[in-house]
Amino acid sequence: MTWLTPLIAGIAAAIAVPSLVILYFLKLRRRDMEVSTTLLWKKAIQDIQANAPFQKLRRNILLILQIIALAAAIAAVGQPQLSGDTTKGDRHIILIDRSASMNAIDGDPAKKTNPATRLEIAKKQAEELVDTLREPGVFQKESADQAMVIAFDSTAEVRQQFTSDKSLLKAAIRSIAATDGPTRLTEAMRLATAHSKPVVVENRGLVSGPGSVLHLFGDGKMPDTMETQPGANDTFMFHRVGEPESGNVAIANVRAERAFDNPSQLSIFVGLQSTMRAPRAVDVELTIDGAVAGVKAVTMPPATSVLPETSNTDKGAEAGDSKPPTPVFTPSTGGVVFPMERVEGALVSVRLRGLDDDNAGNRALTPTADVLPTDDAAYVVVPPAKRLAVAIVSAKGNLFLSAALDGLPLSRHDVMTPEQFQKVLAEGRGGEYDVFVLDGWVPAPDGDGSLPPGRYVIFNAVPPGAGVMDKGVSGPTQIVDWDRSHPVMRSVNLDPLIIGKNRAVEVVKAQAGGAGADVSAVVLASTTSGASIVEARGADWRAVIVPWDLMESNWPFDVGFIVFTAQAVGYVGGSSGGVIGQSQMVQPGAILSDRLPTGASNVTIESPAGESSRLEAAADGRVVFGPIRAMGFYRVSWTGSSGPTDSQRDGRNERFFAANLLDSRESDAASADKLELASRPVAAQDALETKGTRKLWPWFLLGALAVVMLEWFVYNRKVHV
C-alpha cells in the first residue's frame, strides 16, 4: 500500500478529529439549572428558529447538508480526474536517447544559472509525461495507463517493463545515465515494437489492439530513422530536446599512421568538423602519455547551409504554413596533422581548446558556445614501431616472394623448408618470427584441427580447419570484386590480374558449438567462381590466404603484388607501417572484445574514470567487456605471458584500448525538427503538450468531511440552542 499524500491526510486528521471531540465536549458541558418553568424558554427557542432567515431552508438544512456530503463522498468514490487531451493510449513506451549528443548543454552557458544537459531535460519531460498518465482506480484497475521505459544509444535496453506504478517508472527514468556512444534508433524501435503486442480479442481471432503511444525523448539526430517505423496502430510522438541552432566543433576522426619506409615516423591526423554558423578558431592540443606535445590553431569555416528542395506536394501541404523552410546545414570540415619521430608506443589524446574562452581570450569569432564537450577529445593507442621478423616456408623456394619481402623494412627475413619450420615449432621458437609466409604448403592440423598458433600469409594452399573449403582447381579467371577498404587491399588494383589456374574456395560458416566454432573467415576478393583471397582467423592464429598459385598468374609482375604482400605481412604481423592502432579502437556502445595470450589470468580492466573491474578470460584467452559507456583509454592488465605489442608495468602485462565517439552525425549538435521515419515524418514537439491529469477525489472526500462537520455543528445549534 502506498500513501500518496500522507502529509495532507495527517493534517486533515489533526484538524478534524480534535474539532469533532470539541463539539462533543460542547454538548456535554452544559450546566444544569432548575427554573420555575421551561414554558417561555422553549417558546423563545422556537421563536428564534422561526424568526431566523431562511427558516424554511433551515428546517431542512441538515438534510441538504447530508445530501451534499453523500454526493461528495460518492463523487470521491468515482475518482474523477481533470484530464488533458493527448494521453489517449493505454500503453505508453518511453524511449529516451542517452547518446553522446544528449550531453550537450544548449544555449549560452553564461546566461544559465543551472545549466542542464539535454538528457536531464529529456528525463524531466519524461517524468512529466509519467505524471499525466491515468492512475489505477480503486474499482477499475484496467483503466490505468501503463508505460515502459527504454534507454538507448547504439544499443537499447528496457529499463522498466510495462507498469502503472509511477514511482517505478520515475525511478527507471532517473536512473538513466548518459553514455558517450552514438545513436541508433533501430534497435530501440525493435525493442519497443516487440513489446507493443497486438491484443487478442476473443471470438474474433487475432486483432491488432489499440496500439501503443511511443514517446521519443531526444534530439532526433539519428542516422537510421528511415529504417524504422512504428506499428500500424501505434502513435509516435517526438519530444525534441535541444535547439536547432546549437553549434558544435568536434573531432570527427583521429588516425595514427607510421610511414611504411620508416616506421619511426609517426603522424597523428585529426579530422575536425564544425556545425557553427560562423567561423570558429580552435586550438587542437596533442597529448602524448599525459604530456602536451603540441598545439595547433585551426579556424573552422562556418557550416554551409542549403535550402531544402520542396516538392510540389509538400508546397501544397504546407500552403497554410507561413514559416519559411529551414535551411539544412552541412558541417564544415577541417583537419590538422601532427608529424613526429617516435619509435615507442604511446597513449595519444587530442583535445580541442579555446572553445570556452569566447569573451576572455577574444579567440572566438562567434558568441555561440560549443554545446557538446564530449566530442572535443579523441584517443589513440599507438603501438611501438617495430620491424617484423618474417620467414618464408617454401619447399622449393619462391623468387617473387623473396624479392617482395626483401624490399620491406624487416628486422629478419629467413627462408626455411617445411621441415625446418616444423623443427622451429617443435623447439618452441615460433615466437621468434612475427609472420610465416607459407608457399604451397601448410602444416598438419594441430590439436584443434586448424593451424598452429601464429600469423600466416598463405599462398597456393588451403589450410584445413580455417573456415574455407577447397573447391578444386579450375580454369582461368579474373577478379571481379574486392574489398578496397580492407587494410590488406588498400591501394591494390586487381583489375589487371589474370589467374591462369584458379583454385576457388568457399567460406563456410562455423557451426556453433562444433569444431572450429571460433574460426571466422572474410572474403577479401572474389572471382566469378568464388572467393579468391580470404582473411581467416582462429583462436590463436591469423592468416591471409591466397589459395591459387602465383606462378600461374601475372600478379608477380604487377606492382600491386608488392603492395599486397607488404600490407598483408604488416596486417597479420601487427603492423609496422600504415594506419596503426585501429584494432585497439572501439566506439562507445560497442563491446570491447579481444584475445589475450593463452594462460592469461587475474585479468582486470580499468575504465577512464579509474574504476577497475575483473574479467574472466575464456580458455582461449578471449575477454569481453562492455558495452563501453565512456570515452577514453581502457587498460586491460593481466598476469602471464604477453603478446608482442603488450607492455609491462608492475609485473603485469597491459594492453590499452581507446574508446572514441568519432561520429560526425552525433557531433552535429543541432537538434532535428522532425524525424523521417520510414512510414511518415514526425514533427518535433518542443514542450510536452499533455495537460496534467489531476485527481479530484481527495478534494471531494475533503469536501464531504467538511460538510459532515458543518452538519454536526448545525445539528447541535438547531437542537440545543
Q: Which of residues 423-462 bind other proteins (CB under 8 A)?
A: none
CA 472, 476, 478: angle at the middle one, nearest 5?
105
Exposure on the CB side of residue 491, measured as CA atoms within 13 A: 10
- Single-letter amino acid, residue 714: V
42 binds other proteins (CB under 8 A): yes
Is the previous residue joined to 556 through a cis bond, with omega within 30 degrees of 0? no
Cβ 48 to other proteins, closest distance in Å? 5
Q: Of the listed pieces 29-37, 200-208, 212-220, 578-586, which binds other proteins according to CB under 8 A?
A: 29-37
Contact 264, 258 (CB under 8 A): yes
45 binds other proteins (CB under 8 A): yes
509 binds other proteins (CB under 8 A): no
619 binds other proteins (CB under 8 A): no
Contact 284, 272 (CB under 8 A): yes
The single residue among 14, 15, 21, 44 that binds other proteins, judged by CB under 8 A, is: 44
Cβ 134 to other proteins, closest distance in Å? 50
The answer for residues whose C-beta is within 8 angstroms of residue 626's C-beta and 6 or more apart is 586, 590, 591, 592, 593
Q: Of the listed pieces 4-12, 35-43, 389-397, 572-580, which binds other proteins according to CB under 8 A?
A: 35-43
32 binds other proteins (CB under 8 A): yes
Mask for 327-356, x = binds other proteins (CB under 8 A): ------------------------------
- Single-letter amino acid, residue 86: T
719 binds other proteins (CB under 8 A): yes
484 binds other proteins (CB under 8 A): no
Between residues 34 and 650, which has the closer beta carbon with respect to other proteins?
A: 34
Separation between Cα atoms, residue 525 and residue 643, nearest integer Å: 30
Query: What is the DSSP track for 534-591?
Result: EEEE-SSEEEEEE-S-GGGBSGGGSHHHHHHHHHHHHHHTT-SSEEESGGGEE-TTSP
Between residues 471 and 718, which has the closer beta carbon with respect to other proteins?
A: 718
14 binds other proteins (CB under 8 A): no
33 binds other proteins (CB under 8 A): yes
| SS3 (DSSP) at 616 | coil
Residue 424 CB neighbour total at 10 angstroms: 19
Between residues 48 and 138, which has the closer beta carbon with respect to other proteins?
A: 48
82 binds other proteins (CB under 8 A): no
Cβ 52 to other proteins, closest distance in Å? 9
| SS3 (DSSP) at 109 | helix
Place of cell 462533543: 24
User: Of all helices (H) and strands (E), which one includes residue 24?
Assistant: helix 6-28
The single residue among 48, 63, 199, 473 that binds other proteins, judged by CB under 8 A, is: 48
Separation between Cα atoms, residue 336 and residue 243, nearest integer Å: 29
Mask for 351-380, x = binds other proteins (CB under 8 A): ------------------------------
Q: How many residues bind other proteins (CB under 8 A)?
A: 24
Cβ 40 to other proteins, closest distance in Å? 5
313 binds other proteins (CB under 8 A): no
54 binds other proteins (CB under 8 A): no
Exposure on the CB side of residue 290, measured as CA atoms within 13 A: 0
Residue 197 is classified by DSSP as: P
34 binds other proteins (CB under 8 A): yes
Residue 522 CB neighbour total at 10 angstroms: 15
The single residue among 41, 57, 175, 325 that binds other proteins, judged by CB under 8 A, is: 41
312 binds other proteins (CB under 8 A): no
The single residue among 39, 306, 360, 609 that binds other proteins, judged by CB under 8 A, is: 39
412 binds other proteins (CB under 8 A): no
Cβ 711 to other proteins, closest distance in Å? 18
Beta strands 592-595 and 541-546, pairing class: unpaired
Q: Which of residues 165-204 bind other proteins (CB under 8 A)?
A: none
Between residues 32 and 321, which has the closer beta carbon with respect to other proteins?
A: 32
25 binds other proteins (CB under 8 A): no
21 binds other proteins (CB under 8 A): no
Between residues 36 and 140, which has the closer beta carbon with respect to other proteins?
A: 36
Strands (E), 74-204: 81-82, 91-97, 146-152, 156-163, 199-200
The answer for residues whose C-beta is within 8 angstroms of residue 32's C-beta and 6 or more apart is none
Where are the alpha helices (H) located in 163-209, listed in sequence order?
166-174, 185-195
Could you write out the three-class secondary structure of 621-666?
CEEEECCCCCCEEEEEEEECCCCCCCEEECCEEEEEEEECCCCHHH
Separation between Cα atoms, residue 424 and residue 541, nearest integer Å: 16
Cβ 27 to other proteins, closest distance in Å? 8
24 binds other proteins (CB under 8 A): no
The single residue among 43, 174, 190, 412 that binds other proteins, judged by CB under 8 A, is: 43
Between residues 35 and 619, which has the closer beta carbon with respect to other proteins?
A: 35
Between residues 48 and 177, which has the closer beta carbon with respect to other proteins?
A: 48
The single residue among 7, 29, 513, 611 that binds other proteins, judged by CB under 8 A, is: 29
Between residues 35 and 319, which has the closer beta carbon with respect to other proteins?
A: 35
Cβ 687 to other proteins, closest distance in Å? 59
Cβ 45 to other proteins, closest distance in Å? 7
Cβ 63 to other proteins, closest distance in Å? 22
30 binds other proteins (CB under 8 A): yes
Contact 544, 571 (CB under 8 A): yes
Mutual orientation of helices 399-406 and 559-572 as an angle, nearest 10°? 70
Q: Catalog residues that contact other proteins under the rule CB under 8 A.
A: 26, 29-45, 47-48, 51, 719-721
